[in-house]
A and B are shown apart, each in its own frame.
Chain A
């Protein structure tokens, strides 16, 4: 049995998948109330940031007038239809819950705004509903993406124009602090189906540590051109435990537990001209992660993620065009897992590529096309076979497209139709899971979503 063989890793993977599923678009009307500006000042389409939105975030969310209670809220509901919802075992078992039926996804409350001219916050608390194929569902609430900042400004000699914007950040999800939407935390797709099947493999930077770790970092943005950041990630326990509030910390595999402080570095070159802006960047993370979060003697594996990314934006009226791309290569040193017979290889690699392009007309009608692909070492113990979510050849590779249409009748209401199609899933084509004859395309899904923020 798969679950008996790999209890910790599989649950970690499932936990990651759930965390990814719960990740959705964020935009914060309390910032709009604070600045008096509309959503479009900071967002191309939430959560994608304009140059001014990036400046606002790097300014520690401090522009504007402090609100007495800077609260905001949002809710998402939708319908997902998976192309083939029969798991192929001949037992009439559905793959996903509420296929073709409306489902409430999540509701969030934000405490987001400035405290002083130098201190501001983005704190999200989310209630999400998880649906089972037996028709039951269970609600769960906990802390979501969070970013607390202190910011300082240095002007040049002849004016008060800020030449260097610098600051400190404490947050709970690697890249949630980043201001370019080419990085994973606020990367496309901004909203995903809470029920659809997704590929198993993902790098540590792509949600595997979200709401489980504490990042303590410093950054500087010089002349609106050069950005540099250094952050250390640790387990969000002790003083930082609020940053993973709501996580299952008592169960092996329930959360990530890191050994000591783990470095993350980010550099970016940013250029703005006319209605255009572009960014070229690189980032890297090295984490030592315990095999069992409940047992510090369980040994740790080392993951080294190195990424490059780029973004281009043309923001005008009525036409807006934006594009992002990123590539992450993860080296997995299974020094403990391999010794304990949990992986087939002592070292694996995992590569992940995401590219997307978006057009908006009058910031109201949008269309996006996105290409995603992953590939990496075959490792039969790491990626075992299993109905629907397994891999027959032990490979992590998946490929496909996401096509999305958006309509915003109001700036804080979005209707979205998203189609995800796979040409490869968990390493294979027809019969990819190693158990049934399921094809990648059977996991194609159409997701309609309503997003409302206030």
Chain B
């Protein structure tokens, strides 16, 4: 079951049940821990991570440039799903095309599982505070949403501490510029994410910056 199918089903369900159902559906359709116990696979993945991924995503998954997301401490299921989406070319925004489509073709499913496992186990990046006013606005959006604009509180799916869960990515400590970029491409449907399309349809540009600053600081 791929993300798109899951997403279509989700839209037919009540928003309150979305998160729980998504997790349940994915938990049954995907291995919780790819290639668990496979030392050889983990070693192969670790080699790929060290020799290739680290070129952009940094040693141990904490990247330097905000063009490239931090991977350390990211949710394992989310990482695996994204790598598979890159490989299948179903994640289609320009940056995915320019950087990741080709890289993902180098990976088979076992290495994808190994990479997801490896990066999820690394210590996440520390929060980096930004503009105080923006962070305050971001905190409100993150925790309470923006009801008049149909923006659901981010915490509903991404967790109170923005640590993410299952297919909902960790946002805490993520580069703000990267988060803004993702919100933009998802809002304009360059990146397919059925759940998010609805949630951020009316999210204003300034609010994207605010919420990005907030999660980066976590």
Could you list which residues of chain A lie within 8 angstroms of chain B, going by C-beta atoms?
32, 35-38, 40-41, 51-52, 55-56, 63-65, 153, 155, 159-162, 272-275, 315-317
Q: Mark B53-84, 1 if CB is under 8 A from A, else 0.
A: 01110011000111100000000000000000
B50 touches A160 (CB 8 A): yes
Asked, given contacts A52-B55, A153-B51, A275-B66, whether A159 binds B103 with beta carbons under 8 Å apart, the answer is: no
- List 14 additional contacts besides A63-B51, A272-B65; criterion CB under 8 Å: A35-B102, A36-B103, A36-B106, A37-B99, A38-B97, A51-B64, A52-B55, A63-B55, A64-B102, A65-B105, A159-B60, A161-B49, A161-B59, A273-B64
B60 touches A274 (CB 8 A): no
Expressed in whole angstroms, the Cα–Cα distance for A273 and B128 within the complex equals: 14
B98 touches A159 (CB 8 A): no
Residues in chain A near residue B98, CB distance under 8 A:
37-38, 40-41
Expressed in whole angstroms, the Cα–Cα distance for A273 and B65 within the complex equals: 7
Asked, given contacts A55-B55, A160-B47, A275-B65, whether A36 binds B101 with beta carbons under 8 Å apart, the answer is: yes
16 A-B residue pairs with CB within 8 Å: A36-B104, A36-B106, A41-B99, A52-B56, A159-B46, A159-B60, A160-B47, A160-B49, A160-B50, A161-B50, A161-B54, A161-B59, A275-B67, A316-B67, A316-B177, A317-B181
Residues in chain B near residue A40, CB distance under 8 A:
98
- The chain B residue sitting closest to A156, CB to CB, is B59
B67 touches A162 (CB 8 A): no
Expressed in whole angstroms, the Cα–Cα distance for A40 and B102 within the complex equals: 13
Q: Which of B99, B102, B177: most chain A Cβ within 10 A?
A: B102
Q: Mark B26-52, 1 if CB is under 8 A from A, else 0.
A: 000000000000000000001101111
A160 touches B46 (CB 8 A): yes
Expressed in whole angstroms, the Cα–Cα distance for A311 and B79 within the complex equals: 35
Residues in chain B near residue A272, CB distance under 8 A:
64-65
Residues in chain A near residue B54, CB distance under 8 A:
161-162
Could you list which residues of chain B lie within 8 angstroms of chain A, going by C-beta atoms?
46-47, 49-52, 54-56, 59-60, 64-67, 95, 97-99, 101-106, 177, 181
A63 touches B99 (CB 8 A): no
Residues in chain B near residue A38, CB distance under 8 A:
97-99
Expressed in whole angstroms, the Cα–Cα distance for A51 and B65 within the complex equals: 10
B103 touches A37 (CB 8 A): yes
B106 touches A64 (CB 8 A): yes
Q: How far is the CB of B102 from chain A (nearest CB, A)?
A: 1
B52 touches A63 (CB 8 A): yes
Asked, given contacts A64-B106, A155-B50, A162-B51, whether A274 binds B66 with beta carbons under 8 Å apart, the answer is: yes
Q: Which of B51, B60, B105, B181: most chain A Cβ within 10 A?
A: B51
Residues in chain B near residue A161, CB distance under 8 A:
49-50, 54, 59-60
B66 touches A37 (CB 8 A): no
- The chain A residue sitting closest to B104, CB to CB, is A36
Residues in chain B near residue A55, CB distance under 8 A:
55
Residues in chain B near residue A63, CB distance under 8 A:
51-52, 55
B103 touches A275 (CB 8 A): no
- The chain A residue sitting closest to B106, CB to CB, is A65
- The chain A residue sitting closest to B100, CB to CB, is A37
Q: How far is the CB of A309 from chain B (nearest CB, A)?
A: 22
Residues in chain A near residue B104, CB distance under 8 A:
36
Expressed in whole angstroms, the Cα–Cα distance for A272 and B58 within the complex equals: 11
B67 touches A315 (CB 8 A): yes
Residues in chain B near residue A37, CB distance under 8 A:
98-99, 101-103
Residues in chain B near residue A35, CB distance under 8 A:
102-103
Asked, given contacts A55-B55, A317-B67, whether A36 binds B181 with beta carbons under 8 Å apart, the answer is: no
Expressed in whole angstroms, the Cα–Cα distance for A153 and B50 within the complex equals: 10
Residues in chain A near residue B47, CB distance under 8 A:
160
- The chain B residue sitting closest to A53, CB to CB, is B55
Expressed in whole angstroms, the Cα–Cα distance for A161 and B106 within the complex equals: 18
Expressed in whole angstroms, the Cα–Cα distance for A317 and B95 within the complex equals: 10
Residues in chain B near residue A315, CB distance under 8 A:
65, 67
Residues in chain B near residue A316, CB distance under 8 A:
66-67, 177
From A56, A155, A274, A317, contact of B64 by CB (8 A) = A274
Expressed in whole angstroms, the Cα–Cα distance for A63 and B47 within the complex equals: 13
- The chain A residue sitting closest to B50, CB to CB, is A160
- The chain B residue sitting closest to A274, CB to CB, is B66
Residues in chain A near residue B103, CB distance under 8 A:
35-37
Q: How far is the CB of B193 from chain A (nearest CB, A)?
A: 19
- The chain A residue sitting closest to B86, CB to CB, is A36
Residues in chain A near residue B65, CB distance under 8 A:
51, 272, 274-275, 315
- The chain B residue sitting closest to A363, CB to CB, is B98
- The chain A residue sitting closest to B128, CB to CB, is A274
- The chain A residue sitting closest to B47, CB to CB, is A160
Q: Which of B46, B66, B97, B98: most chain A Cβ within 10 A?
A: B98
Expressed in whole angstroms, the Cα–Cα distance for A94 and B184 within the complex equals: 56
Residues in chain B near residue A32, CB distance under 8 A:
102
Expressed in whole angstroms, the Cα–Cα distance for A159 and B102 within the complex equals: 24
A160 touches B51 (CB 8 A): yes
Expressed in whole angstroms, the Cα–Cα distance for A159 and B122 within the complex equals: 11
Residues in chain B near residue A51, CB distance under 8 A:
64-65
B60 touches A275 (CB 8 A): no
Residues in chain B near residue A317, CB distance under 8 A:
67, 95, 177, 181
Q: How far is the CB of B69 from chain A (nearest CB, A)?
A: 13
